[in-house]
């Protein structure tokens, strides 16, 4: 399956690339007021500056994992780095909001080519004894990128031009790409044939669902554009499931979801990521819109939350085998739910930062446990040959969870709240946070129900491919 390279070099290259792509989920949010003034764009234009990246990223994650298995993971990973770097330069030099949105969409495609393959490259480069720690560290770096996005964006906007939120990617990408070609191992998946029809169906279906969810934030759930997009997307996904049961080389072998562990671990990823980041989306705005802090100060105030995964994730990797990843994941989900409930109880237009701080620390601990172990648990229920696919599915579910969480919690917020002044903002924030708490608690239930992993080999399934090494660029 692979030609193993040094695990340390692979982890560094893949980890930095994952951090960079995760960072760009939210790094632009604090630059939006400046972008609005420069381009004199509408609110919809600002929304799509953020959402064009989220849309293509979420839709293409699974397809990227399939392409990596077929054409070689290193090759697709490096292609993603080059696409992401070029798109970042284009976004930084955009002369209109339309060009910026288009560049952000291409950035999302590049990020999707990078992220699932980065994790698979790390897993195949380290020994089984170090796998848990490597996945934990990788999860911590990617989660930190998402969490630090608003603060880093605020720092750039405070002391420089907004374009630098994109320019900073360019030298990183130009350094990583040649290092990846030189140092990463060669690996690919078990099948030489690409399921073109299945790839097109899953991409189109996910596009319809994710597009509808994104538009629901602005248009509302009952808008025809939202309803038709989501229904059409689900219809195409049903056709995808029908086709996968008949395809000779399916993208997602249907037997994978007959595994309770695989299904529940992915449900856990969707629910916890959705509930938590839907809440993060509103809480970062609460610090600015309701409490009146600047973007930079608001980002700095969340550092106790966002820095905890750096401390917790490595420890979770070390103790995961001793205590059991299922128990730690359950604890992580419960801690995050408790933190959201605390925020719902204490949030007010004049709340002191000291009242928010305990919730931020608890949420950070829970987030660190989740980032460290979520992907690892999914891979416990697939064979070595299917790790690339499992990584793509898990990351797609997590990103889909972010989109779904933001859409659902924003809709709940909009029913009783608004951005007009602190009072209505807090009025909408409270029910949204309670819904987020409930979603994360469902994730905790999924974690409790995940069975103990049993080592999976390809020979256990008649459909599974052999584990004989296959080398490709």
pLDDT in tens, 291-325: 888 777 877 888 888 778 778 877 887 777 778 78
pLDDT tier for residue 204 given thresholds of 50, 70 and 90: very high
What is the number of alpha carbons within 13 Å of residue 296 lying toward its C-beta?
6
pLDDT score of 254 more than 70: yes
- pTM exceeds cut of 0.85: no
CA 77 to CA 180: how far, in whole Å?
8
Q: What fold characterizes domain 1-185?
A: Growth Hormone; Chain: A; (1.20.1250)
pLDDT score of 94 more than 60: yes
Query: pLDDT above 90 covers what percent of the chain?
Result: 32
pLDDT tier for residue 361 given thresholds of 50, 70 and 90: very high
Residues comprising the chain, all counted: 473
Where do we find the tokens 């893949």?
14
pLDDT score of 472 more than 50: no
CA 314 to CA 394: how far, in whole Å?
20
Residue-level pLDDT at 473: 38
| Residue 357, CA distances (Å) to 13, 303, 354, 360 in order | 34, 10, 5, 5
pLDDT score of 2 more than 70: no
pLDDT score of 14 more than 50: yes
CA 340 to CA 174: how far, in whole Å?
40
Residue-level pLDDT at 459: 40
The answer to whether domain 251-458 has CATH 1.10.10.10 is no
Residue-level pLDDT at 332: 94
CA 233 to CA 323: how far, in whole Å?
41
What is the number of alpha carbons within 13 Å of residue 426 lying toward its C-beta?
16
For the chain, the average pLDDT equals: 83
Q: Write the DSSP assignment of 221-282 as a string of letters.
A: TTSHHHHHHHHHHHHHHHHHHHHHTT-SS-SS-GGGGGSHHHHHHHHHHHHHHHHHHHHHHH
pLDDT score of 53 more than 80: yes
pLDDT tier for residue 454 given thresholds of 50, 70 and 90: low
CA 288 to CA 413: how far, in whole Å?
16
Where do we find the tokens 């993603």?
80
Q: Write the DSSP assignment of 432-463 as a string of letters.
A: HHHHHHHHHHHHHHHHHHPPPP----GGGSTT
């Amino acid at each position: 399956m692979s030609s193993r390279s040094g695990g340390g070099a692979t982890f560094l290259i893949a980890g930095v690339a994952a951090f960079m792509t995760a960072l760009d989920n939210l790094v632009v949010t604090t630059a939006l007021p400046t972008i609005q003034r420069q381009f004199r764009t509408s609110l919809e234009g600002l929304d799509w500056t953020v959402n064009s990246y989220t849309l293509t990223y979420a839709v293409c994650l699974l397809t990227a994992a399939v392409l990596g298995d077929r054409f070689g993971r290193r090759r697709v990973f490096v292609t993603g780095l080059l696409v992401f770097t070029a798109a970042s330069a284009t976004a930084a030099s955009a002369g209109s909001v339309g060009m910026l949105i288009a560049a952000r969409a291409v950035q999302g495609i590049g990020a999707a080519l990078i992220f699932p393959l980065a994790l698979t490259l790390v897993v195949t480069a380290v020994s089984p004894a170090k796998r848990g720690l490597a996945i934990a560290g990788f999860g911590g770096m990617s989660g930190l990128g998402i969490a630090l996005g608003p603060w880093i964006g605020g720092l750039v906007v405070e002391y420089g031009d907004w374009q630098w939120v994109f320019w900073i990617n360019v030298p990183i990408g130009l350094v990583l790409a040649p290092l990846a070609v030189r140092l990463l191992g060669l690996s690919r998946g078990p099948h030489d044939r690409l399921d073109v029809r299945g790839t097109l169906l899953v991409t189109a279906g996910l596009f319809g669902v994710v597009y509808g969810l994104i538009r629901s934030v602005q248009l509302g759930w009952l808008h025809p554009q939202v309803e038709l997009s989501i229904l059409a997307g689900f219809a195409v996904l049903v056709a995808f499931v029908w086709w996968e049961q008949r395809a000779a080389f399916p993208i997602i072998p249907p037997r994978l979801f007959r595994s309770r562990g695989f299904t529940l671990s992915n449900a856990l990823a969707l629910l916890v990521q959705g509930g938590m980041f839907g809440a993060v989306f509103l809480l970062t705005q609460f610090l600015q819109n309701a409490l009146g802090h600047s973007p930079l100060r608001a980002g700095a105030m969340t550092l106790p939350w966002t820095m905890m995964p750096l401390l917790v994730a490595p420890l979770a990797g070390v103790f995961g085998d001793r205590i059991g990843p299922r128990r730690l994941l359950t604890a992580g989900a419960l801690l995050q739910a408790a933190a959201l409930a605390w925020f719902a109880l204490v949030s007010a237009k004049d709340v002191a930062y000291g009242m928010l701080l305990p919730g931020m620390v608890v949420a950070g601990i829970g987030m660190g446990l989740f980032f460290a172990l979520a992907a690892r648990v999914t891979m416990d229920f697939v064979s070595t040959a299917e790790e690339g696919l499992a990584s793509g599915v898990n990351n797609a579910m997590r990103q889909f969870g972010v989109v779904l969480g933001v859409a659902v919690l924003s809709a709940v917020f909009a029913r009783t709240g608004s951005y007009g002044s602190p009072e209505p903002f807090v009025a909408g924030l409270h029910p949204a946070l309670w819904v987020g708490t409930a979603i994360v608690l469902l994730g905790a239930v999924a974690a409790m129900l995940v069975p103990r992993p049993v080592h999976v080999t390809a020979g256990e399934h008649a459909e599974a491919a052999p584990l004989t090494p296959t080398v490709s660029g």
